[in-house]
Amino acid sequence: TGAKQAPNVILFVADDMGWADVGYHSDHILTPNIDSLAADGVLLNHFYAQPVCSPSRGALLTAVHPIHLGFQNSIIYNKSPYGLPLDRKIWPQYLKQLYNYSTHIVGKWHQGFARKEYTPTYRGFDSHVGFWTMGVGYYNHRNCFTGDNCGLDFRHNMDIITNASDIYSTHYFTDRCLNIIDQHNTSQPLFLYVPYQAVQAAVVPIRDRLDLFPHIRSPERRELAAIAYSMDESIGTVMEALHSKRMLDNSIVIFISDNGGHPSENGHLAPGPSKNPKANDAQNLPLRGGKFLLYEGGIRVPALVWSPLLNKSGYVSQALIHISDLLPTVLDAIVGTGIDDQDYIYGVSQWKVLSNNERPVRWEIQHNVDPISNSSAIRWYDWKLIQTRKHIGPSFADYMPSPIDIGPHLRTNIQNNDRLNSKTYRILRQMNRRPDYNVLT
């Protein structure tokens, strides 16, 4: 018998979905398909993304930390003259090189389009249906997020789609996924990357599935619940199509959010007015803060891995995982090794950790180092250190780490702990280094 074919890889990414915006973390959000994948797969309880979308997606696609992509300070805007550095290989390029995968993206790109070379089909994807910018209307597919720089952004490869007006983007993306699966030659492995628009805030009110949530009093929260439910339906439909084509038995399915949710009530924890029209009334409770912030609510996000290839499943992993780990993890599952041909790789393979429920391989995550806004954060074991403008000063107490979870085993006065003291000063020196910039490539 011949060697077993490389597994299909299905990567679902939600946009701005908070910790409490999935059914398994909420008593009023319905996501039965996501919940089922989490129950039957491995739920990642300490999975970290970046606090905003472009940096998260850059780290996801390259396994490189955003501080080495030039993405440590901001997102890519419509007029940004740069994109994800072109010298960086991304998922479809690795997968084509290894086993000639068929590679498709359906949904949001947001990794630059100042030059055509930055766009998906010039970076290894066989096709792209979706949008290049940070977001569009769910029905009119126009980007108007940046003032007067406004226009239709709905594309099939390099061509504008003009016949999709008034079609809900989640439905359009679902149909595209079904078309890809239907046309797929199963003698070739499939990589399907589905970065949904959901659950990003809706500029025009959503009409789909609102009737399922009369118990939610807040109109904005009810809308998020409806958007999340439609996305969950889409995931279930895609999974059923894969099952019908007998592709699931040899597949790895991943679901994550790109950053924490964007609460409508920002209060003192986030920039902007207390009622932000671009917020989606997400909830990150019991975590602190949300999108844009280095607090847990901004970067610790819902995530799971489902696959029949896992030796152990149906459990909650407490392993520390960064979004940049996913590419090395999948490559390890396919060929038994991570990435060894690129510089500045931050991601590490978590495949053996997750497949066998083994001892974690990470004890530390550098969340960000941004000298422009003078904000940085790092997690080390169960401790987290945040440096912001508010905390600049000579006093050691200004940089005192705080425990991730308050519990008896963590009630420690760090100033009387030589080991933690030494670690803290080493981390501070690391955080104050100037990062490597590589933007205008």
End-to-end CA distance of the chain: 47
Query: What secondary structure does DSSP assign to 256-309, as a single string?
Result: EESS----SB-TTSSSS-SB-TT------TTS---TT-SSHHHHB--EEEE-TT
Q: Using an 8 Å Cβ cutoff, are 105 and 166 in contact?
A: no
| Active-site annotation holder among 46, 53, 65, 128 | 53
Q: Using an 8 Å Cβ cutoff, are 293 and 259 in contact?
A: no
Q: Using an 8 Å Cβ cutoff, are 314 and 334 in contact?
A: no
Among residues 208, 219, 367, 211, which one has the least CA distance to residue 279? Answer: 219
| Active-site annotation holder among 110, 128, 262, 367 | 110
Task: Report residue 282 as tokens.
Answer: 């997400």
Strand 375-380 to 383-387 pairing: antiparallel
Neighbours of 432 (CB within 10 A): 12
In eight-state DSSP terms, residue 319 is E
| Local structure of 368: helix, strand or coil | strand
Task: Report residue 110 as tokens.
Answer: 């947001």
Q: Using an 8 Å Cβ cutoff, are 155 and 163 in contact?
A: no
Distance, CA of 337 to CA of 135 (rounded, Å): 35
Among this protein's residues, is 53 annotated catalytic? yes
Distance, CA of 86 to CA of 378 (rounded, Å): 28
**Active site positions, annotated:** 53, 110
